[in-house]
Amino acid sequence: MWEYGGYAGKFLRLDMTNKKASTVPLTKEMARLHLGGNGFGAKILYNELKPGIDPLGPENKYVFASGPIQGTMVPTAGRSGVFTKSPLNGLFFDAYGGGSFGPEMKYAGWDAVIVEGQAESPTYVTVYDDKVEFKDASHLWGKYTFETQEIIKKDLNEPKAQIACIGPAGEKLVRFACTIWGARAAGRGGNGAVLGSKKLKALVIRGTNDVEVPNVDEFLKTVSEQYAKILANPGTGKALPSLGTPGVTTVQNQLGILGTRNWQTEVFEGTEKISGTAMRERLVVKDKGCMACPIYCTKLVHVKSGPYAGTIDEGPEYETIFAFGSNCGVDSLEMIAKADRLSDDIGVDTISAGAVISFAMECYEKGILSKEEVDGLDLKFGNQEALIQMMHKFGTREGVGDLLAEGAARAAKKIGKGSEKYAITIKDIENAGHSPRGMKGYCLGMATSTRGGSHQDGRPTGERVGKFDRKILDGKPEYAMGTQRTTTLQDSMCVCRMTEGIYGLTEVTNDHLNMINVVTGMNLKLPELVDITDRIWNVERSFNCREGARREHDVQAIRFMTEPIPDGPSKGMYSPKDELEMLKDKYYELRGWDKTTGIPTKDTLKRLSLNKQAEDLYK
Amino acid sequence: MKFFSHLRYATGMKETDMEIDDGEMLIKLIERLIQKFGSNFEDRIKDKETGTLAPFLIMVGQEEISSVNGDLNHRLSNGDVVSLLDPVGGG
């Protein structure tokens, strides 16, 4: 065992320019202060990237990282993350995927893989334990992600290898391209374009090492308790196994917070046709689980008839049903499954892809984009055929696909004519499928988050299930900070959001602590763990502040701050800017950030042992 | 009564009419639903380890009532539409 349990004890550095691999030892201090996952990603990128660099240039880096629990049977430890400077907004971005890529990386003996530089020609890299090889990927360039993985497995005779790869969208530098391993996506923020810029088509990993823990009996006891809790809980023991995340679709609509037609309203008349129940009855052929997970929330679907017959897809998840369904005015689950499968094949984030199309649909219906400007497509809400054609254009950047491949915020700037207010983005990241207008705490959590338009920092769950009143302002700065602490911790452990109701929804708990201690033997105390989450959050914040992000960037999409929800159960709700600014004052105070600038204060940074950040931000 | 998401599995229906005494408390209605639909329904709204209601929203008309910190003694009237939403995290 390394100094602590769970860790491999070293990082792999891949220099794509010179095709060289090297080893970076993991230090005890790094593990103890930054834990893993986003802690490693943020620390590495903060230290190694110069501010102002081009996200798609050779100076940017891309980090695959796991936490200490990956490779063990801690529930949902199959997850792992990727970290880079986002091509959508030039800020720190982290994205995560399930499956078993992260554990395999650990079995190969690596806690993280740092990809840097830029190859001259398409390349893929194989990592078999300590043996690393750079290989020609010319024959793979242009291939879809699933085909890429199949070819590599066959060529190498390695059917059990884990392969992270990009599709044509990553190669074409589509700014919301993603990374795919198996059929799971590290979806958001455009990380696939960063791999494309480095001409790294795929990273192949196979490992034979063990992951060790200090006391196996104690470990098994703690983990067994968590499995029992998961199975006893109605959400993780019944709801998610039955319907997966699509189960929330009808609930969102019933509350009047289901983004519809580019968020012009939040009630969708076709909800019953795209519900989790409808998907289960019509399309689901198999339930599937990630490594070390008893929930089995993934639904394998098969479209058996109609224009999309033959489509086989892992998913779609709720976010995808929102993005290609209600938000594009589409009530066909079959088309949504087709668009989801295409997203995985091409290698784009389903949330941003759907959001960019819904943005274009609103521009088209309002006469801002003409039929000629959208390549002759009748891009009205609900036009399924046009939507599928748009998806193909992302993979080729042909015609209007080239404009929209830049993401909604950049496209709006190019289009002009007032289209900016129809780009539903926060920090230039397209908004996920939860309503900032209809949930006050989530709204603040998102606005102040590192990732902007992602639902993974500010969280909707506490308000959606009624633990917190979604309509009131009282306590929402505390709620926003609490949920951000738990998401930060979950992302440093690399555990799945499905367990948030088990391990802790709005606070760091002894459940989190016990799992980390039983794996690592660090014997952390709860306040130390809270400090770890705050340290990671402040490194991410410092990265963004160093790039120029300030208080004025912690805002919502224009529509959410100016247009009340027009109808339905949440009619009249929105987030006026003065209300948001008032909540931010209190939030910054809780965080120890300067109220004028939004930068963490020097005292806050020093308290968290972030002396370099304090020096950089207060020169 | 309106059921959403996986509660439709436990009940086998999207909605149903329930006879109530005028002024019956909401918690009483939930207990009667558990009796009517059995353990498969109960396991979908209560934690099996703790025996307590999981957090979820109940709508009476347009009013939202939390299962964990709302007024479960809310008095129902004939004609009320009661919607049971879903105790699911994630997404």
Residue of B nearest to A234 (CA): B44
On whether residue B69 sits in a domain, the answer given is yes
Candidates A79, A112, A103; CA nearest to A495 is A79
Partner-chain contact A505 B89, CB within 8 Å: yes
Q: Give the CATH number of the domain where residue B12 resides.
A: 3.10.20.30
Task: Give the domain range for residue B62.
Answer: 2-84
The nearest CA of chain A is from the CA of B61 a distance in Å of 10
DSSP one-letter code for A572:
T
> Across the beta sheet with B63-66, what order do the strands follow?
B2-3, B82-84, B57-60, B63-66
Residues of B in contact with A232 (CB under 8 A): 47-50
What is the Cα A142 distance to its own chain's centre?
24
* Cβ neighbours for A65, distance < 8 A, ≥ 6 positions apart: A36, A37, A38, A40, A41, A44, A80, A81, A82, A83, A111, A112, A113, A494
As a whole number, mean pLDDT of residues A75-81 equals 95
B54 contacts chain A (CB < 8 A): yes
Beta partners for residue A63, in sequence order: A83, A114
Token pair belonging to B29: 């209605």
Partner-chain contact A238 B43, CB within 8 Å: yes
What local confidence, expressed as pLDDT, does residue B88 receive? 76
**Is the separation of the CB atoms in A211 and A71 below 8 Å?**
yes
Query: Based on the structure, what is the number of domains in chain B?
Result: 1
**Predicted confidence (pLDDT) per residue in A380-434, tens digit:** 999 999 999 999 999 999 999 999 999 999 999 999 999 999 999 999 999 999 9
What local confidence, expressed as pLDDT, does residue B86 receive? 81
For chain A, domain boundaries? 10-206, 244-415, 434-617
Q: Where would I find the beta strands (DSSP E) of A268-357?
A: 284-288, 298-302, 312-314
The nearest CA of chain B is from the CA of A56 a distance in Å of 30
**Predicted confidence (pLDDT) per residue in A277-322, tens digit:** 999 999 999 999 999 999 999 999 999 999 999 999 998 999 999 9
The predicted model scores a pTM of 0.97
Inform me whether the pLDDT recorded for B90 exceeds 70. Answer: no
Pairing of strands A123-128, A200-206: parallel
Residue of B nearest to A244 (CA): B91
Measured in degrees and rounded to the nearest 5, phi and psi for residue A465 equal: -95, 5
Pairing of strands A80-85, A62-65: antiparallel
Inform me whether the pLDDT recorded for A587 exceeds 90. Answer: yes
Partner-chain contact A255 B57, CB within 8 Å: yes
Residues of A in contact with B54 (CB under 8 A): 233-235, 465
On whether residue B27 sits in a domain, the answer given is yes
On whether residue B89 sits in a domain, the answer given is no
Task: Closest CB to B88: pick one of A247, A255, A470.
Answer: A247
Partner-chain contact A277 B8, CB within 8 Å: yes
**High-pLDDT (> 90) share of chain A, %:** 100
> Across the beta sheet with A92-97, what order do the strands follow?
A20-25, A10-15, A112-116, A62-65, A80-85, A92-97
On whether residue B61 sits in a domain, the answer given is yes
Residue of A nearest to B55 (CA): A465
Reported ipTM exceeds the 0.85 cut: yes
The amino acid that residue A421 corresponds to is: K
Q: Which CATH class is domain A10-206?
A: alpha beta
Partner-chain contact B44 A232, CB within 8 Å: no
Partner-chain contact B66 A469, CB within 8 Å: yes
Partner-chain contact A228 B69, CB within 8 Å: no
Partner-chain contact A255 B85, CB within 8 Å: yes
Token pair belonging to A367: 């006469």
**Is the separation of the CB atoms in A600 and A542 below 8 Å?**
yes
Inform me whether the pLDDT recorded for A565 exceeds 80. Answer: yes
Measured in degrees and rounded to the nearest 5, phi and psi for residue A119 equal: -75, 155
In whole angstroms, what is the distance from residue A17 CA to residue A434 CA? Answer: 41
Give the mean pLDDT of chain A. Answer: 97
Task: Closest CB to A498: pick one of B55, B69, B89.
Answer: B89
**Predicted confidence (pLDDT) per residue in A206-258, tens digit:** 999 999 999 999 999 999 999 999 999 999 999 999 999 999 999 999 999 99
* Inter-chain contacts counted by CB atoms under 8 A, chains A and B: 130
Partner-chain contact A467 B66, CB within 8 Å: yes
CATH 1.10.599.10 fits A434-617, yes or no: yes
**Predicted confidence (pLDDT) per residue in A86-131, tens digit:** 999 999 999 999 999 999 999 999 999 999 999 999 999 999 999 9
As a whole number, mean pLDDT of residues A176-199 equals 98
Inform me whether the pLDDT recorded for B91 exceeds 70. Answer: no
On whether residue B10 sits in a domain, the answer given is yes
Disruptive mutation site among A238, A258, A293, A468 for chain B (greatest number of B CBs within 10 Å) = A238
Residue with tokens 């080239």, as numbered in its chain: A402
- Residue A171's Cβ-side half-sphere holds a number of Cα atoms within 13 Å equal to 23
**Predicted confidence (pLDDT) per residue in A344-375, tens digit:** 999 999 999 999 999 999 999 999 999 999 99
Beta partners for residue A15, in sequence order: A20, A116
- What's the pLDDT band for B9 if we cut at 50, 70, 90? confident
On whether residue B90 sits in a domain, the answer given is no
Give the mean pLDDT of chain B. Answer: 93
Task: Closest CB to B87: pick one of A232, A433, A465.
Answer: A465
Residues of A in contact with B57 (CB under 8 A): 255, 464-466
Task: Closest CB to B5: pick one of A243, A297, A469.
Answer: A243
CATH 1.20.58.1690 fits A244-415, yes or no: no
Partner-chain contact B43 A245, CB within 8 Å: no
Candidates A184, A192, A226; CA nearest to A55 is A192
- What's the pLDDT band for B87 if we cut at 50, 70, 90? confident
Measured in degrees and rounded to the nearest 5, phi and psi for residue A607 equal: -60, -30
- Please name the residues between 15 and 44 in chain B that touch chain A, using a CB distance below 8 Å: 43-44
